[in-house]
């Protein structure tokens, strides 16, 4: 518990008051009084609000992940539609922690996990990612709403809370867990017994024996499973959930929740979070003014296309019909692609990552092999005003090779993937909602016409080349 004299001395600082209030703009806020929270809904409008609550015994301040048009209109029993109407957006806040017995180990492992998450977000093209120490043993990683895409797969992101945030958390957890295991093992010098002692876990929970691929039956090695250690809080990602505001004190540790230089997370020391050492505004947290629109588009697209850990709602019947349709049609030649895809394949001046996502999913859904997709994408990339880095292309293609199910590209109505890239549907596109559906429609129509023009009564020898015939005058790209 924090003594009143301690919290009051700290919250009397005008720079601390100003920093807390600025962060809480458009957010629901609540003060905590050691073991209990104050009234909700509430807001922090003026710096003096922080001081007045501190005089009443407030020990910390918390705010919502969501941004509201008017936080004071929130009531406890609001239904989903009412909340969606009042919500103007939401920030992506990832609560990073690790499960260990002692605090020192927990913090060390959390630093590794937080550093990996930041690098993963940066790899996805997000420049506005920031981080802060939670005030105890973990970290909060933040991406502002301004960086989020307005729509993904036809879904408006403003209303996709908390579902979208949970998808992101699960996707990132899957992406970093192998590296986390490797780095924890390196930190502990390969000593599995030391890890078990520090975490209080049985070695069977995080170590397993695996056959060496391509080796003799006797060739086995111990593999490290970081899953039991990594905690990216998805249970608490829920509507009106709150997190500790930057520069707010932590009741258990007495330390401040301070922003951290994302390039120096591995070197973080709790000593820098002592109240008397806090210097507000020195390091940014949730920087909105310099954020670029759609910075996080690639992250969201990949997370929504990620299936292993997420239950995607779809009927078994629809999936069966889709597979049956694919096997019936086979690969769709490029001349039957809809106009929007043909134009996109000519190269785009901007939005290359979005176009890449569309093209890979389109070609995959049109039954092109991985090798064919790679060839076409590399040709397409050279037509762009500024080609994407080879490493980015390769990583994206490798990721899709590992996916068990095909994913359709965004629907034609999704402006972020077509209209904003200068790709607009024309009368030639027809009335189909998705480019893949349009391609199949064009191809079937061409096959029917070709079939109707065949001489009546002509018989084909079984297994002849004509069994694989495509309409006259077209290649089988």
Question: How far out from the chain centre does Cα 306 lie?
Answer: 10
For 374-422, what is the HEC assignment?
HHHHHHHHHHCCCCCCHHHHHHHHHHHHCCCCCCCCCCCCCHHHCHHHC
pLDDT digits 0-9 by tens, 272-308: 999 999 999 999 999 899 999 889 999 998 998 875 4
pLDDT of 469 > 90? The answer is: no
pLDDT of 231 > 90? The answer is: no
Q: How does 352-389 read in b/e, with b if 16+ C-beta sit within 10 Å?
A: bbbbbbbbbbbbbbbebeeeebbebbeebbeebeeebe
Rg of the chain (C-alpha set): 27
Phi, psi of 375 (to 5 degrees): -65, -50
d(CA 366, CA 258): 50
Give the tokens for residue 93. 């806040």
pLDDT digits 0-9 by tens, 54-112: 999 999 999 999 999 999 999 877 888 999 999 999 999 999 988 788 889 999 999 99
Q: Which 3 state secondary structure label does DSSP give 33?
A: strand
Is 131 or 152 the better-scoring residue by pLDDT?
131
Q: Which of 231-245, 400-414, 447-461 has the lowest mean pLDDT?
A: 447-461
pLDDT digits 0-9 by tens, 381-439: 999 988 988 877 887 887 777 665 677 888 887 777 888 788 876 655 656 778 988 88
Q: Which residue has the tokens 């069966």?
A: 320
Q: Ranked by mean pLDDT, which of 221-225, 321-325, 435-439 comes out on top?
A: 435-439
Contacts of 77 (CB under 8 A, 6+ apart): none
Is 52 or 398 the better-scoring residue by pLDDT?
52
Q: Given CA atoms 389, 394, 397, 402 in this order, what sign does their dihedral have?
A: negative
**Per-residue model confidence (pLDDT) at position 103:** 87
Q: Which 3 state secondary structure label does DSSP give 90?
A: strand
Contacts of 88 (CB under 8 A, 6+ apart): 26, 67, 68, 69, 158
Q: Report the percent of the chain where pLDDT is more than 70.
A: 84
Q: Which residue has the tokens 């209209």?
A: 419
d(CA 465, CA 162): 54
**Per-residue model confidence (pLDDT) at position 142:** 97
Is 97 or 10 the better-scoring residue by pLDDT?
10
Report the run of H or E that residue 173 belongs to, with start and end. Answer: helix 163-187
The closest of 364, 365, 329, 359 to 344, measured between CA atoms, is 359
**Per-residue model confidence (pLDDT) at position 418:** 86
CA angle 159, 162, 164 (to 5 degrees): 80
Give the tokens for residue 458. 């002509």
pLDDT digits 0-9 by tens, 199-211: 888 887 787 666 5
Structural domains of the chain sorted by starting position, each given as residue range(s) with its CATH number in brackets: 4-297 (3.90.920.10), 319-468 (no CATH)
């Amino acid at each position: 518990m924090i003594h009143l004299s301690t919290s009051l001395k700290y919250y009397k600082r005008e720079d601390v008051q100003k920093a807390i209030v600025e962060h809480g703009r458009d957010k629901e806020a609540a003060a905590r009084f050691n073991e209990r929270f104050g009234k909700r809904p509430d807001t922090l409008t003026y710096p003096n609000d922080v001081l007045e609550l501190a005089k009443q015994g407030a020990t910390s301040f918390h705010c919502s992940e969501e941004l509201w048009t008017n936080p004071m209109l929130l009531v406890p029993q609001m239904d989903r539609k009412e909340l969606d109407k009042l919500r103007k957006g939401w920030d992506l806040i990832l609560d990073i922690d690790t499960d260990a017995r002692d605090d020192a180990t927990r913090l060390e492992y959390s630093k590794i996990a937080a550093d990996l998450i930041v690098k993963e977000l940066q790899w996805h093209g997000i420049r506005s990612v920031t981080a802060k120490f939670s005030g105890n043993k973990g970290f909060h990683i933040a991406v502002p709403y301004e960086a989020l895409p307005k729509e993904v797969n036809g879904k408006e992101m403003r209303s996709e809370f908390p579902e979208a945030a949970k998808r992101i958390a699960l996707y990132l957890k899957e992406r970093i867990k192998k590296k986390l295991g490797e780095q924890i093992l390196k930190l502990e010098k390969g000593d599995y017994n030391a890890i078990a002692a520090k975490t209080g876990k049985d070695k069977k929970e995080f170590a397993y024996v695996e056959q060496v691929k391509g080796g003799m039956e006797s060739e086995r090695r111990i593999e490290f499973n970081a899953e039991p250690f990594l905690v990216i809080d998805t249970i608490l990602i829920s509507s009106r959930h709150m997190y500790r505001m930057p520069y707010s004190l932590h009741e258990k540790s007495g330390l401040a929740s301070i922003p951290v230089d994302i390039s120096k997370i591995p070197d973080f020391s709790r000593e820098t979070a002592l109240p008397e050492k806090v210097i507000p505004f020195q390091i940014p947290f949730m920087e909105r003014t310099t954020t670029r629109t759609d910075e996080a588009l690639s992250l969201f697209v990949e997370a929504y296309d990620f299936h292993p850990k997420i239950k995607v709602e779809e009927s078994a019947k629809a999936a069966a019909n889709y597979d049956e349709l694919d096997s019936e049609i086979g690969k769709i030649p490029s001349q039957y692609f809809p106009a929007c895809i043909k134009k996109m394949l000519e190269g785009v001046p901007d939005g290359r990552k979005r176009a890449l996502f569309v093209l890979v999913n389109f070609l995959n859904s049109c039954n092109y092999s991985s090798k064919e997709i790679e060839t076409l994408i590399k040709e397409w990339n050279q037509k762009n005003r500024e080609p994407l880095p080879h490493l980015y292309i390769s990583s994206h293609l490798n990721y899709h090779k590992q996916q068990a199910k095909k994913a359709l590209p965004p629907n034609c109505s999704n402006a972020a993937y077509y209209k904003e890239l200068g790709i607009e549907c024309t009368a030639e596109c027809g009335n189909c909602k998705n480019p893949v559906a349009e391609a199949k429609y064009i191809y079937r129509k061409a096959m029917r016409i070709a079939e109707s023009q065949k001489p009546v009564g002509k018989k084909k020898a079984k297994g002849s080349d004509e069994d694989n015939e495509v309409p006259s005058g077209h290649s089988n790209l």
